Amino acid sequence: MAPQSRKYPMLRRSRAMWGSRRVWQPRLVFWAGAVSIGVISVLFAVLADKAQALFHMMIGDSGDRRFYLPLAVTPLGFVLCTWLAHAFFPGAQGSGIPQAIAARHLRDDDDRSHLLSLRLAAGKIALTVIGLFCGASIGREGPTVQVGASLMLQAARWGGMAQARGLILAGSAAGIAAAFNTPLAGIVFAIEEMGRTYEARTNGLVLTAVILAGLASLGLLGNYTYFGVSKETIAFAADWPLVLGCGVIGGGFGALFSLLALKITRRIRRWHTQQPLARALLVAAVCGLGVAVIGIASGGLTFGTGYAQARGAVEGTPLPWFFFLEKFLAGLLSMVSGIPGGIFAPSLAVGAGIGSSLGLLFGASAGAAALLGMAGYFAGVVQAPMTAFVIILEMTGNHDNVIALMLASMLGYGTARMISHEPLYHALSRVFIAEAIRRRRAETVPEPGQG
């Protein structure tokens, strides 16, 4: 009797394929990379929370003399982060999302290694934690994208996988999913923001990476919603002016943040050309001092990610009407300083402040207004409306306000497009692409007297 494998050739080929080391090794490395993204994201979150707690413990309450420590600690921390980034971790500056986007457009692995590597991932985590310990108005979510993309690109190198662009996309999506415990938002972010030329063949990579990173995060922290559970419901008959106001005003402020960030960083970059390190340190010190002054004036509300303030607003505690202006300025100064750190969480805090202020004006529920403000402002900053409303839905566990959040996000996006035509992350990514091209040209041009 002939063996089954002879009788059924398809079965024989299937066994050969599944038993091949060439097939299993890359898959195992990829799965290990995805799980490691989840584990490291959780570790990053714990370190970031502890850094913020230590900072607030160090400065005490507003009536304490220690409350003025940020006037020294914050500028020095900004200078330290900037020096370490320039000296040991070039490419770690800023959010990290522009670096991941730029790496997807670069074809050479050496060029990608200047933006995504294990060394940069370690530096990104360390410097973001130092920044939070010094009171910077930054978040860990953008850095988690660069960390996730770095881990997945390294997995591609170890596993001999050729799909570098797809794996960077998968690592970025897994980073967002694990950072917020928002798997759907990770996928939408990958499609809308990271890969505007999204390829259907990367579906499996993105889904698998998000699932495995999410499982690792759930295994360590359990299932949770980032901002708790919101039970507020938006009634269109009474709340439609609030939806319109949060969308248009939130989107306008979001576009203003993006426009100012791009213009200021371009001017600073041109000014840096003569003395790059010295002037970068000076800018960091000035921005750090500004963040410290704003933080002290706000009673400490603007230091750190803004997570506690945003969560309080979502749960129904109104924020001071001027909070969003202070947080807006603190976030802008932290970003243009060039220190490693993201804008996701600070942007959500600004949006919650805008919504809270408009809620007081319209006499609406503080929690519902905060949700709408977050959607409008965040969509205005990143010009990614689907990511905005999906991430807020998942972070608050409330699916009763889908249409209202969609409308606020689209209004925010539409308003932002009229003010600023350049999506923030993609405009910043072009800087890293240009640097890679200049570096490549410098390497290929022969020195005088040669050739």
For the segment 138-153, what is each residue's pLDDT rounded down to a tens digit? 998 889 999 999 998 8
- CA pair distance 108, 112, nearest whole angstrom: 6
Q: Which of 341, 389, 44, 52 is nearest to 217 (CA)?
A: 44
> Which token pair is 152?
């997945």
Between helix 141-159 and helix 118-133 the angle, nearest 10°, is: 160
Q: Is 298 exposed, middle or buried (0-12, 13-18, 19+ CB in 10 A)?
A: buried
Residue 107, Ramachandran bin (φ over 0: left; ψ between -120 and 50: alpha; else beta)? alpha
Q: What percent of the chain has pLDDT over 90?
A: 36
Question: Domain 236-435, CATH 1.10.3080.10 — does that match?
Answer: yes
Residues 52, 54: Cα–Cα separation, whole Å: 5
Among 235-244, 276-285, 383-392, whose mean pLDDT is lowest? 235-244
The reported pLDDT for the residue numbered 5 is 47
Above pLDDT 70, what percent of the chain? 86
Q: pLDDT tens digit string along 396-421?
A: 777 778 888 899 999 999 999 998 88
Class of domain 26-221: mainly alpha
Q: Where are the domains of the chain?
A: 26-221, 236-435
What token pair was written down for 107?
A: 């074809």
Q: Which of 44, 46, 97, 149 is nearest to 342 (CA)?
A: 97
pLDDT (tens digit per residue) in 254-271: 999 999 999 999 999 888
- The top-scoring range by mean pLDDT among 9-13, 70-74, 205-209 is 70-74
Residue 18 banded pLDDT, cuts 50, 70, 90: very low
pLDDT at res. 107: 81
> Please, what is the Cα angle at 102 between 127 and 98, to 5 degrees?
45
Please, how many CA atoms are within 13 Å of residue 263, restricted to the half-sphere of its CB? Answer: 8
Mean pLDDT in residue range 362-374: 86
The three-class DSSP label of residue 384 is: coil
Backbone angles phi, psi at 290, to 5 degrees: -60, -45
How many CB atoms within 10 Å of residue 64?
10
Q: Are the beta carbons of 261 and 419 closer than 8 angstroms?
A: no
**Partners of 342 in the beta sheet?**
139
Average of per-residue pLDDT across 426-446: 80
CB neighbour class for 108 (10 Å; exposed up to 12, middle 13-18, buried from 19): exposed
Q: Helix %, strand %, coil % for the chain, to 5?
A: 75, 0, 25
Evaluate whether 26-221 and 236-435 have a shared fold: yes
Average pLDDT over every residue of 171-178: 84
The Cα–Cα gap between 330 and 140 comes to 16
Which whole-number Å values give the CA distances from 198 to 184, 188, 307, 324, in the listed order? 16, 11, 31, 34
Given a contact cutoff of 8 angstroms between Cβ atoms, the answer to whether 341 and 136 are in contact is yes
* CB 220, CB 39: distance < 8 Å: yes
In contact, 81 and 130? CB cutoff 8 Å: yes
How many C-alpha atoms does 128 have within 13 Å on its Cβ side?
Answer: 34
pTM: 0.87
Residues 6+ apart with CB under 8 A from 163: 156, 202, 205
Cα separation, 417 vs 409, whole angstroms: 12
pLDDT interval class at 347 (50, 70, 90): very high
Residue-averaged pLDDT of the chain? 84
- Segment 104-141, tens digit of pLDDT: 888 888 888 888 999 999 999 999 999 999 999 999 88
Q: Which tens digit of pLDDT belongs to each residue from 182-230?
A: 788 788 887 776 655 555 556 677 777 877 787 787 777 776 666 666 6
Around Cβ 259, how many Cβ atoms within 10 Å?
16
Give dist(CA 179, CA 406) in Å, integer.
Answer: 23
Q: Report the alpha-carbon distance of residue 168 to residue 195 in Å, rounded.
A: 10
- List the one residue out of 27, 351, 405, 450 whose CA is nearest residue 234: 405
How much is the pLDDT for 384? 86
